[in-house]
Structure 1
Amino acid sequence: MTLLDEFVDWYLDQYPVRADLLGADGYDRTLGDFTEAGFARRERAAELWLERLALVVPADLDDRIDHELALSYLRGAVASARWPDWRRDPAPYLGAVFGSLFTPFQQRLRPEAELVEAALARLAEVPGVLAACRDNLDPDLAADLLVRRGLDQALTARRFLTETIPGVVEDPALRARLAAAAEPAADAFDELAGFLAEFRAGGTWRMGEELYSALLRERELLGYGAAELHEKGQAEWAALDLRMGEVAGRLGADDWRSAMESLMDDHPPTLAAMREEYEAETFRARDFVRDHQLVTFPDGEECFVLPSPEFQRPILAVANYLAPPPLTPSRTGVFFVPYTPDGFTEEQVRQRLRTNSRAQMPSIAVHETYPGHHWHLAWMAGNPRRVRKIFRTPYFAEGWALYVERMMHEQGYFATPQTELAHLDCRIFRAARIVVDTALHCGDMTIEEAETFMSTKASLSPGTAKGEVSRYCAWPTQAPSYLTGAIEIENIRAEFDGDLRTFHDVIAGSGGLPLGLARMAALGK
């Protein structure tokens, strides 16, 4: 066994929920150690693994890429330990519970009885995990915005645990056992919700320029920091603004914002109709990609189009994707359509529908499914290198999904001025994300200024802009990954010596690598 194999085994052992969601066997009966001692032990171990792996320099190119991938993860983990999310944010605790209970039933890769037994074991650990959350949150470090996000999600837990999860179990006896076991966990969530409602947080959600830049350079392997990225976002926004003005002129509009406002009035009438139309668009994108031979399709791949799960709705206002577990033979993924929380008003629902207009649907479906996230993650799951199945960065995964939007436009998929403008709107939206995310976390923009920027510099409703900015505050460096990664992939393609399908198969099949490593994998140097 190599040192890299030992590190991967350690990682799976320390993060059992992540290991189970990846499809590794033997990790489905525990949530892991969320105590202060557990977090501190993992942080120290990451430092030691970084020291040990840094001493090894493989000669083979693919081995070197694998090695550098592990090092990039560890450098990011060590840097992030200076700003520990487990002291600032309820999300690490809540995410582990919700994801570990929902995803296995969604994917159903094991018999129902085994899924229920695993859920029962994890439900028994929920009170302890939430107690650790209460113990570990530091009033001087925790940010009020993050605590309120956690509270909103915690308030969905009782219904999720006692109704939603048991409701997907077909066997009546198993369903009854699961519902009964969920009650103590639901009580623990109620207790946590009360705690968070009274919690007085005095910390900040702003990451700061120093750590932000360190993550860009050391984890993402980009050759620049936050200030340079901010400037790139501004330049991309300005160039797209000019191009969109030209397309809007072809539609008879004075400017692209008014043109997009008009296009957004043409939307599905209901959330259910939105799901149906997204499903039809997903099938159309798959047929186009196959007919134009843009990628090689993995055997057995399939993508379902479903409403977003209830627990995600308070914290996620946009479409998202659930990948097949890469350590299993499954190639089935789920495109989640962004439903609103149950308590939303009729006007809030209408605004959500407007930001999923019929002109925008082709770009969003391409991004999430074919040849975006679903194709990429189903295809890369066939890579035999275990470390590449486990570690990936949004700077490639999201960059790929935005890259293919532009590529599909080049191939003629967005065939009308309306869908072309919407495609460009999706791209300028990502440029705005770069500007806002860097400005927020470097202290150059308030939340209110960011919401105004996103609702005026991109075609977001005020409600959607509010949800977006809340996400940026909670997940620094992720929002810029889309356009940053797309531009880097486009640059790599310009240097690639081969046809388009081969480029796609090679670079996407290499994993979800930091862009510097993706360049090495695609170009062989």
Structure 2
Amino acid sequence: MNPFFTGGEVISVSFPTRQMTAEQQRQSLRGNNVTFAKATVHHELIPGHHLQAFQSSRYQSHRSQFMTPFWLEGWAVYWEFLLYEDGFPQSPEERLGFLVWRAHRYARIIFSLRFHLGQMSPDQCVDFLVDNVGFDRINAEAEVRRSVGPSYPPLYQAAYMVGAMQLLTLKDRYVATGKPAKTFHDEVMQQSSLPISLLEAIVLDQTIQQDNPPLWRFDESQFSQ
């Protein structure tokens, strides 16, 4: 159910158990190698989920009732992009670790939505992760079991990458208004959990009307390349 290092405010460590066969133990270790694990720590702790929880308890704490995975997971993956671009992973192995998780975020959109639309079976989802991301089968099976289980709503897995793309776009729009880029992260954290379309309206000082709620739209130019 939990094949990789995950968490939220803490890190939950996934490693082999005595009940596994020797081959299953090797697959578990390969899926949690040092460079893969390094690429997950900032997602779960700082500047990811641990920082979100810290800030959300101090700013607009009532908005925790409106928790959306596009803000929650999108913020953590957004930082995966920023840290990669800023040279945080230095060796080829570390950069590959980051890129494997990025491929996983994209794959999650495809297999989770197709599963909920009845277009892919769980076994096909597992094959998709093995063939397109390179996960060991035991880890892919656990990931699918977790992703499509009853604990997550249908759009949750897609929200990782889509939310990150929304925040990257919102940062560009924020800077384009003449506001300094260094204040963007403070603004996002101090608004707490909101749909990104509403977050955009607030940080860009847009007028919000009850009969005309804010809607998110990507710029067409982002997808023209």
Pick one of 152, 159, 184 that aligns with 1:503: 184
Q: Structure 2 residue aligned with 1:379, among 40, 47, 55?
A: 55
Mapped contact 1:395–1:514 kept (Cα < 8 A): yes
**8 Å Cα contact 1:320-1:335 kept in structure 2:** yes
Report how many aligned residue pairs link the two structures: 200
- Given the alignment of the two structures, is residue 435 of structure 1 paired with residue 110 of structure 2, yes or no? yes
Counterpart in the other structure of 1:467 = 142
User: What is the rounded CA distance, in whole Å, between the counterparts of 1:386 and 1:379 in structure 2?
Assistant: 9
Give me the whole-angstrom Cα distance separating, in 1, the residues matched to 2:158 and 2:67.
Answer: 16
Pick from 35, 39, 52 the counterpart of residue 359 of structure 1: 35
Query: Are 1:346 and 2:22 counterparts?
Result: yes
Aligned to 2:159: 481
**Structure 2: how far apart are the matches of 1:464 and 1:515?**
31
Is residue 367–residue 405 contact of structure 1 (8 Å, CA) maintained in 2?
Answer: yes
* Structure 1 residues 386 and 361: CA distance shift in structure 2, 3 A: closer
Partner residue of 1:409 out of 80, 84, 90? 84
Give the 3-state SS of the residue equivalent to 1:506 in structure 2. Answer: helix
| Cα-to-partner distance string for 1:235-288 (whole Å, 9 max, x where unaligned) | xxxxxxxxxxxxxxxxxxxxxxxxxxxxxxxxxxxxxxxxxxxxxxxxxxxxxx
Aligned residues of 1:321 and 1:374 also touching (Cα < 8 A)? no
Partner Cα separation in structure 1 for residue 160 and residue 195 of structure 2: 13
Aligned runs of 1:214-293 on 2, under 5 Å? none
Are positions 1:316 and 2:27 aligned together?
A: no
- Which whole-Å CA distance do the structure 2 matches of 1:345 and 1:520 have between them? 53
- State which structure, 1 or 2, has the greater radius of gyration over its C-alpha atoms: 1
Does structure 2 conserve the Cα–Cα contact (< 8 Å) formed by 1:507 and 1:521? no
Contact 2:8 2:45 in 1 (8 A): no
Pairwise mapping of residues 60-99 of structure 1 onto structure 2 (< 5 A)? none
Instruction: Give how far 1:513 is off.
Output: 1.4
State the alpha-carbon separation in 1 of the partners of residues 190 and 22 from structure 2. 43
Moved more, 334-343 or 467-476: 334-343
Q: Is the 8 A contact 1:403 1:487 kept in 2?
A: yes
What is the deviation of 1:456?
1.2
Partner amino acid, structure 1, of 2:69:
P
- 4+ residue runs over 6 A deviation: none
Q: Is the 8 A contact 2:61 2:192 kept in 1?
A: no
Change in Cα spacing, 1:490 to 1:344, as seen in structure 2 (3 Å) is same
Q: Deviations over 1:456-480 (max 9, x none)?
A: 1113110011111112321322111
CA contact (8 A) 1:429 1:459 kept: no
When normalised by structure 1's length, the TM-score is: 0.37
CA contact under 8 A between 2:125 and 2:144: conserved in structure 1?
Answer: yes
- CA distance, structure 1, for counterparts of residue 104 and residue 44 of structure 2: 16
* Larger RCO (alpha carbons 8 Å, 6+ apart): 2
CA–CA separation in structure 2 for the residues paired with 1:490 and 1:419:
22
User: Which residue identity is paired with 1:487?
Assistant: M
Identify if the C-alpha distance between structure 1 residues 374 and 445 changes in structure 2 by more than 3 Å, giving closer, same or farther: same
Tell me by how many angstroms 1:350 deviates.
2.0
| Pairing of 1:388-403 with structure 2 (within 5 A) | 388-403=63-78
TM-score, scaled to structure 2:
0.82
Letter matched to residue 169 of structure 2: N
User: Among residues 194, 199, 202, which one is paired with 1:518 in the alignment?
Assistant: 199
Give 1:346 deviation, angstroms.
2.9
1:340–1:390 Cα change, 3 Å: farther
Tell me how far 1:374 sits from its aligned partner. 1.1
Q: Structure 2: where are the runs of 5+ without partners? A: 207-225
